[in-house]
Protein backbone atom coordinates (compact mmCIF):
# COMPACT_ATOMS: atom_id res chain seq x y z
CA UNK A 1 0.00 0.00 0.00
CA UNK A 2 1.26 3.47 -0.91
CA UNK A 3 1.51 5.29 2.42
CA UNK A 4 1.65 8.97 3.20
CA UNK A 5 5.29 8.54 4.26
CA UNK A 6 6.09 6.94 0.88
CA UNK A 7 4.40 9.85 -0.89
CA UNK A 8 6.36 12.48 1.05
CA UNK A 9 9.68 10.69 0.56
CA UNK A 10 9.07 10.35 -3.18
CA UNK A 11 7.92 13.96 -3.60
CA UNK A 12 10.87 15.30 -1.63
CA UNK A 13 13.34 13.34 -3.73
CA UNK A 14 11.64 14.36 -6.97
CA UNK A 15 11.87 18.08 -6.28
CA UNK A 16 15.25 17.96 -4.62
CA UNK A 17 14.31 19.75 -1.40
CA UNK A 18 13.20 18.72 2.05
CA UNK A 19 9.61 19.92 2.09
CA UNK A 20 7.35 17.95 4.36
CA UNK A 21 3.99 19.16 3.24
CA UNK A 22 1.21 17.26 4.89
CA UNK A 23 -1.27 16.67 2.12
CA UNK A 24 -3.34 13.79 0.91
CA UNK A 25 -1.45 11.85 -1.77
CA UNK A 26 -4.61 11.58 -3.85
CA UNK A 27 -5.68 15.23 -3.57
CA UNK A 28 -6.21 17.11 -6.81
CA UNK A 29 -4.58 20.49 -7.44
CA UNK A 30 -6.35 23.13 -5.35
CA UNK A 31 -5.27 26.76 -5.79
CA UNK A 32 -7.18 27.87 -2.68
CA UNK A 33 -4.85 29.41 -0.07
CA UNK A 34 -4.52 27.12 2.92
CA UNK A 35 -2.27 26.66 5.91
CA UNK A 36 0.07 23.68 5.61
CA UNK A 37 2.83 22.21 7.75
CA UNK A 38 6.45 22.30 6.58
CA UNK A 39 9.80 21.34 8.08
CA UNK A 40 11.03 23.64 10.82
CA UNK A 41 14.24 24.75 9.06
CA UNK A 42 12.39 27.12 6.70
CA UNK A 43 12.44 30.63 8.13
CA UNK A 44 9.31 32.76 8.49
CA UNK A 45 8.99 35.31 5.70
CA UNK A 46 10.54 33.10 3.01
CA UNK A 47 8.64 32.53 -0.26
CA UNK A 48 9.22 29.14 -1.87
CA UNK A 49 7.84 28.27 -5.30
CA UNK A 50 7.65 24.68 -6.50
CA UNK A 51 6.93 24.94 -10.24
CA UNK A 52 6.42 21.20 -10.72
CA UNK A 53 3.53 21.19 -8.28
CA UNK A 54 2.23 24.70 -9.14
CA UNK A 55 2.33 25.92 -5.55
CA UNK A 56 3.81 28.97 -3.86
CA UNK A 57 4.47 28.80 -0.11
CA UNK A 58 4.79 31.75 2.26
CA UNK A 59 6.43 30.57 5.49
CA UNK A 60 4.45 32.27 8.27
CA UNK A 61 6.05 30.72 11.36
CA UNK A 62 8.20 27.72 12.18
CA UNK A 63 6.62 24.60 10.66
CA UNK A 64 3.76 26.57 9.02
CA UNK A 65 3.15 28.14 5.63
CA UNK A 66 0.31 29.44 3.52
CA UNK A 67 0.13 27.52 0.25
CA UNK A 68 -1.26 29.25 -2.85
CA UNK A 69 -1.84 27.75 -6.28
CA UNK A 70 0.05 29.40 -9.12
CA UNK A 71 0.89 29.17 -12.79
CA UNK A 72 4.50 29.05 -13.95
CA UNK A 73 6.67 29.57 -17.04
CA UNK A 74 6.51 27.36 -20.09
CA UNK A 75 9.39 24.92 -20.58
CA UNK A 76 12.55 26.85 -21.36
CA UNK A 77 11.11 30.16 -20.12
CA UNK A 78 10.83 29.45 -16.41
CA UNK A 79 12.73 31.32 -13.71
CA UNK A 80 14.67 29.28 -11.16
CA UNK A 81 16.95 30.35 -8.38
CA UNK A 82 16.89 32.92 -5.61
CA UNK A 83 15.74 36.52 -5.72
CA UNK A 84 14.32 39.26 -3.55
CA UNK A 85 11.19 41.32 -3.93
CA UNK A 86 12.60 44.82 -4.44
CA UNK A 87 9.51 46.50 -5.93
CA UNK A 88 5.78 46.02 -5.34
CA UNK A 89 3.07 47.64 -7.46
CA UNK A 90 -0.72 47.81 -7.33
CA UNK A 91 -2.34 47.64 -10.78
CA UNK A 92 1.06 47.74 -12.52
CA UNK A 93 1.69 48.91 -16.06
CA UNK A 94 3.09 46.34 -18.48
CA UNK A 95 5.10 45.96 -21.64
CA UNK A 96 6.32 42.60 -22.94
CA UNK A 97 10.08 42.14 -23.08
CA UNK A 98 11.78 42.38 -26.47
CA UNK A 99 12.33 38.60 -26.34
CA UNK A 100 8.58 38.03 -25.89
CA UNK A 101 7.82 40.30 -28.87
CA UNK A 102 10.38 38.48 -31.01
CA UNK A 103 9.03 35.04 -30.01
CA UNK A 104 5.44 35.95 -30.79
CA UNK A 105 5.09 39.16 -32.84
CA UNK A 106 1.43 38.46 -33.66
CA UNK A 107 0.37 38.26 -30.03
CA UNK A 108 2.33 41.40 -29.16
CA UNK A 109 1.70 43.31 -32.43
CA UNK A 110 0.57 46.51 -30.67
CA UNK A 111 4.02 46.69 -29.01
CA UNK A 112 6.12 46.19 -32.18
CA UNK A 113 8.18 49.22 -33.23
CA UNK A 114 7.04 51.55 -30.44
CA UNK A 115 7.37 52.28 -26.74
CA UNK A 116 3.73 51.66 -25.83
CA UNK A 117 3.17 50.57 -22.22
CA UNK A 118 -0.19 49.08 -21.28
CA UNK A 119 -1.73 50.96 -18.34
CA UNK A 120 -2.64 49.12 -15.17
CA UNK A 121 -6.21 47.92 -14.71
CA UNK A 122 -8.42 44.86 -14.98
CA UNK A 123 -7.33 44.11 -18.58
CA UNK A 124 -3.60 44.28 -17.85
CA UNK A 125 -1.82 40.87 -18.01
CA UNK A 126 -0.05 41.53 -14.68
CA UNK A 127 -3.39 41.70 -12.92
CA UNK A 128 -4.12 43.45 -9.65
CA UNK A 129 -0.65 43.29 -8.05
CA UNK A 130 2.93 42.56 -9.03
CA UNK A 131 5.97 41.63 -6.96
CA UNK A 132 9.18 42.33 -8.91
CA UNK A 133 12.02 39.83 -8.55
CA UNK A 134 15.60 41.13 -8.38
CA UNK A 135 18.99 39.45 -8.05
CA UNK A 136 21.84 41.47 -6.56
CA UNK A 137 19.86 44.68 -7.10
CA UNK A 138 19.22 43.95 -10.81
CA UNK A 139 15.69 43.44 -12.17
CA UNK A 140 15.26 39.91 -13.50
CA UNK A 141 12.11 40.93 -15.45
CA UNK A 142 10.34 38.05 -13.71
CA UNK A 143 7.35 38.78 -11.53
CA UNK A 144 4.90 37.18 -9.16
CA UNK A 145 1.66 38.72 -10.35
CA UNK A 146 -2.07 38.42 -10.86
CA UNK A 147 -3.54 37.34 -14.16
CA UNK A 148 -6.33 37.96 -16.63
CA UNK A 149 -6.17 34.25 -17.47
CA UNK A 150 -7.28 32.42 -14.32
CA UNK A 151 -7.58 29.17 -16.27
CA UNK A 152 -3.74 29.03 -16.48
CA UNK A 153 -3.33 28.59 -12.71
CA UNK A 154 -1.96 25.08 -12.19
CA UNK A 155 -0.23 25.08 -15.57
CA UNK A 156 3.09 25.98 -17.21
CA UNK A 157 1.68 28.66 -19.49
CA UNK A 158 3.46 31.97 -18.88
CA UNK A 159 6.55 33.57 -20.40
CA UNK A 160 8.37 32.82 -17.15
CA UNK A 161 6.53 34.75 -14.47
CA UNK A 162 4.66 33.22 -11.55
CA UNK A 163 0.91 33.85 -11.96
CA UNK A 164 -1.69 33.85 -9.21
CA UNK A 165 -5.40 34.50 -9.09
CA UNK A 166 -5.93 38.22 -8.50
CA UNK A 167 -7.57 37.76 -5.10
CA UNK A 168 -4.68 35.54 -4.00
CA UNK A 169 -1.92 37.89 -5.18
CA UNK A 170 -3.70 40.76 -3.39
CA UNK A 171 -3.54 38.70 -0.17
CA UNK A 172 0.12 37.77 -0.71
CA UNK A 173 1.02 41.38 -1.59
CA UNK A 174 -0.33 42.55 1.78
CA UNK A 175 1.69 39.89 3.63
CA UNK A 176 5.17 40.32 2.13
CA UNK A 177 7.42 43.36 2.54
CA UNK A 178 10.09 44.70 0.21
CA UNK A 179 13.20 42.57 0.69
CA UNK A 180 11.34 39.26 1.01
CA UNK A 181 13.53 36.36 -0.13
CA UNK A 182 12.14 34.15 -2.89
CA UNK A 183 13.39 30.69 -3.90
CA UNK A 184 12.07 29.15 -7.11
CA UNK A 185 13.14 25.53 -7.33
Of 18, 70, 145, 168, the active-site residue reads: 145
Read out DSSP for 103-115?
A: H-TTTTGGGTTS-
Of 18, 70, 161, 168, the active-site residue reads: 161
Contact assessment for residue 140 and residue 85, using Cβ atoms and an 8 Å cutoff: no
Greatest alpha-carbon pair distance for the chain in Å reads: 60
Instruction: Note if 161 is an active site residue.
Output: yes
Sheet-wide strand order for 34-37: 34-37, 64-69, 55-61, 47-50, 181-184, 81-90, 129-135, 138-145, 162-163
Catalytic residues: 145, 161
Amino acid sequence: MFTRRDFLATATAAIGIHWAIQADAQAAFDPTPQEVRIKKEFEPGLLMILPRSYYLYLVTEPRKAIRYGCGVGKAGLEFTGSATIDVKKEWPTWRPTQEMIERDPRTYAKFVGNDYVQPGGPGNPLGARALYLFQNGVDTYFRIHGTTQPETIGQAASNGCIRMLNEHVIDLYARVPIGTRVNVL
